[in-house]
Structure 1
Amino acid sequence: MISSKFDVTGKHCIVTGGAQGLSRGMAEGLLEAGCKVVLIDVQEEKLKQVVKEYQDKGYEAYGVAGNLADRQDINRIFTESMDILEGRLDVLIPAAGIQRRHLPEEFPMEEWDLVVDINLNHVFIMIQKALKVMLTQSTGGKIITIGSMVTWFGGTTVPAYTATKGAVSQLTKSLAVDCAGRNININCICPGYMDTEMCANMTQARKDECTVRIPAGRWGTPEDLKGPVLFLASSASDYLNGTAIPVDGGYLVK
């Protein structure tokens, strides 16, 4: 019998970027485990299709479409999400992220601003809103941020992405210090090289270079994040705070 420490049945959750990629994988893991999940994404039609697919399977999936780069729209998104969740929020995963590739001397500032708005600013804004809910709950809450291998490394042609993911890991530590004694756990998952839409624009040479370094011998998939997410969303991780957990097939240690 599985320990009740890992039971997340009935928890109310929000996952941003949930229409595709790793965000969808994490949302799916929570849904499969019996959570009620609001998926947020800017791709309205794709989001509707994904939510319908999960609802057809009997899962408590809901969608709220909106632009996470727009602070005013984030206010609406969060309010609508909390209405769906009946005012209770147990787990927040502000996972939406984008990547833009340019040499640093050619990086367009409008793209820099967009990456920062989505990868960093939306993360903090959603967390701030979530904390105002979670701190009023006797059960507290769990917040799971999403870093990257570029939390530690520099990457190549991704200065904005690297800067924001490094910032997210440091933000996680700072928030954990302020929240650990108040029944809130905040931890960061740092995916390795994952076979998702985000990496589709990498050159084959770069992909091959990364694959050689992965001791597991393969790139990760959204499925590989389900276990770590369920651990961090459950009471099994109650004494874990401010960590950055690589889920990378051993890439970081080679």
Structure 2
Amino acid sequence: MFDLKGKVALVTGGNGGIGLGMAKGLAQAGARVVVVGRNAAKSAAAVDALRALGSDSFALEADVTDEASVHTLFEQLEARCGRLDILVNNAGTTIRKPVDQLQLSEWNLVMDTNLTSAFLCSRAAHPLMKRGGNGGKIINIGSMASIFGMPYAPAYGASKGGIVQLSKAMAASWAADGIQVNAVLPGWIQTELTDGARAQVPGLNERVIARTCAGRWGQPQDLAGVAVFLASSASDFITGTAIPVDGGYSITA
């Protein structure tokens, strides 16, 4: 039920953090994982880690905010693999400024990286999944900011709220093609992005630990299980959902 042998998975931003944590889970379940990123050295290291888990992994370089680059990416993917079964839209960034201090260029950067990239990659993946005849799985990475207001990250919150609605729209549109689309809402996961938040927001580390039922920050590997579940046949009757993976942070006051 959770076996991904013979499946091809593409993970944007898969060379570090949450993306790599999910990629490792997919690799362990048997998928051939394609890492997409712009940092060649990080991508090479990620591919080495995935190959060590038995995945015939490789990396492709692309700017997933650019329509032409995404088109080329999926042409390269099809030429090399001939199919796509799983897409994880994980590429993301943030700028921590309140609304009154945020420049339009900064807003656009965050929205393009977090939301537009998911639209572009999903749109490009759809015909490839449909032609395969077996449907597919699209996993979009949202955030707690999809459901909570964060005064110091308005663009990030808006983009991640959009991820949930985009997931629902695609789930409804592509159900007849056998494609399930779901969102994952990570909590406070220890990554380069959240390391920056802890440095910028006084007391954040202590507040996160106090509110999180699990009593700790999450680690990228904590996302591996939900990735395998949503990528496998175990989730064939689940679509348009948004699943928090937050150690209980979102259920406490």
- The answer to whether the superposition gives a TM-score over 0.5 is yes
**Aligned equivalents of 1:12 and 1:57: distance in 2?**
15
Q: Which of 4, 9, 18 is matched with 2:5 structurally?
A: 9
8 A Cα contact 1:186 1:241, kept in partner: yes
User: What is the aligned-residue RMSD (CA, Å)?
Assistant: 1.3
Please identify, of 164-173 and 102-111, the stretch whose mean Cα deviation from structure 2 is larger: 102-111
Q: Which of 115, 118, 132 is matched with 1:120 structurally?
A: 115
Report matched runs for 1:67-86 at 5 Å: 67-85=63-81
The residue type equivalent to 1:245 in the other structure is I
User: What is the aligned partner in structure 1 of residue 18 from structure 2?
Assistant: 22
8 A Cα contact 2:24 2:53, kept in partner: no
8 A Cα contact 1:42 1:68, kept in partner: no
Q: Which of 122, 131, 139 is matched with 2:134 structurally?
A: 139
Q: For residue 56 of structure 1, report the CA deviation from its aligned partner.
A: 4.7
Residues 1:218 and 2:216 aligned together: yes
**Aligned equivalents of 1:138 and 1:75: distance in 2?**
21
Report matched runs for 1:173-184 at 5 Å: 173-184=168-179
Quick one: structure 1 residues 44 and 240, their matched pair in 2 at CA, closer, same or farther if it must change by over 3 Å? Answer: same
Identity %: 39
**Aligned equivalents of 1:81 and 1:94: distance in 2?**
15
User: What is the aligned partner in structure 1 of residue 91 from structure 2?
Assistant: 96
Q: For residue 57 of structure 1, report the CA deviation from its aligned partner.
A: 4.9
Quick one: structure 1 residues 229 and 58, their matched pair in 2 at CA, closer, same or farther if it must change by over 3 Å? Answer: closer
**Aligned equivalents of 2:56 and 2:80: distance in 1?**
11
8 A Cα contact 2:10 2:35, kept in partner: yes
1:166-187: CA deviation from partner (whole Å, max 9, x where unpaired): 0000111111111223211111
Residues 1:31 and 2:58 aligned together: no
1:15-68: CA deviation from partner (whole Å, max 9, x where unpaired): 000110000111111111111111000111211222134335542111011222
1:201-253: CA deviation from partner (whole Å, max 9, x where unpaired): 12241222222110110111111111111111111101001000000111111
1:74-109: CA deviation from partner (whole Å, max 9, x where unpaired): 222222122222x21110111111111112111122
The residue type equivalent to 1:50 in the other structure is A
**Aligned equivalents of 1:251 and 1:103: distance in 2?**
23
Q: Which of 188, 191, 197 is matched with 1:193 structurally?
A: 188
Residues 1:163 and 2:161 aligned together: no
**Aligned equivalents of 1:53 and 1:193: distance in 2?**
24
The residue type equivalent to 1:239 in the other structure is F
| Gapped regions of structure 2 (runs ≥ 5) | none
Alignment partner of 1:211: what SS? helix
Alignment partner of 1:245: what SS? strand
The residue type equivalent to 1:67 in the other structure is D
Q: Which of 166, 172, 177 is matched with 2:167 structurally?
A: 172
8 A Cα contact 2:43 2:59, kept in partner: yes
User: What is the aligned partner in structure 2 of residue 62 from structure 1?
Assistant: 58
The residue type equivalent to 1:224 in the other structure is D
Alignment partner of 2:196: what SS? coil
Alignment partner of 1:201: what SS? helix
1:110-137: CA deviation from partner (whole Å, max 9, x where unpaired): 1211111110111011101111111122
User: What is the aligned partner in structure 1 of residue 149 from structure 2?
Assistant: 154
Residue-pair matches, total = 249
Instruction: Give the 4+ runs in structure 1 shifted more than 6 A.
Output: none
8 A Cα contact 1:8 1:33, kept in partner: yes
